[in-house]
Amino acid sequence: MKIRVTAIAICILFGSAAWAAPPFEVVDPMRGPTPVADEADPPLISPIENKDIKRMRTYSMQPPTIPHKIDGYQIDKNFNRCLTCHARVNTEVTQAPPLSVTHYMDRDSNVLAEVSPRRYFCVQCHVPQAEAKPLVANDYQDIDVILKRLTAPASDKK
């Protein structure tokens, strides 16, 4: 009985100590030092890259990023400005990369004459890149880099 009373007293003591402790402060790297209850000032919008350089993809099956500005492009059910340059019939004149054959297929892999409705709204998958510093630290490495490091001779690993 005495052990049970001692155990309950210890639980009450530690439980009350936890409630009396100052709140745990968490700093969100994206939000900064602004407390959660307060409204933070939004960061300035970074300029969009406009380099027209094809970027390496980070992972298999990643949609390519858009290497130019698309401000003011109309992409709706009536018109798609992207297709002015990237539709297969226009790429010889514009020299833009053509849409993949998969953009002309329906979900049953039937080839269509026009762009598939499920692939029509380009910015659902493809995004322009901003010239901005990363919001959070990132040490991501491509699988090819990791495999090269693992298969490299021991003298190269130093």
Tell me, yes or no, whether 128 lies in a domain: yes
Q: Which domain holds residue 98?
A: 75-151
> Does residue 109 lie in a domain region?
yes
CB of 84 closer than 8 Å to CB of 73: no
Question: How many CB atoms are located within 10 Å of the residue 22 CB?
Answer: 5
**Binding site for heme c: what residues are annotated?**
68, 82, 85-86, 103, 122, 125-126
End-to-end CA distance of the chain: 63
CATH code where residue 133 lies: 1.10.1130.10
**Residues flagged as binding site:** 68, 82, 85-86, 103, 122, 125-126
Question: For 11-69, how does the pLDDT look when each residue is reduced to its tens digit (9 = 90+)?
Answer: 776 665 555 555 666 667 777 778 878 888 887 888 888 888 888 887 888 999 999 99
Reported as a single tens digit per residue, the pLDDT across 98-108 is: 999 999 999 99
Question: What CA–CA distance (Å, rounded) separates 92 from 137?
Answer: 41
How many structural domains comprise the chain? Answer: 1
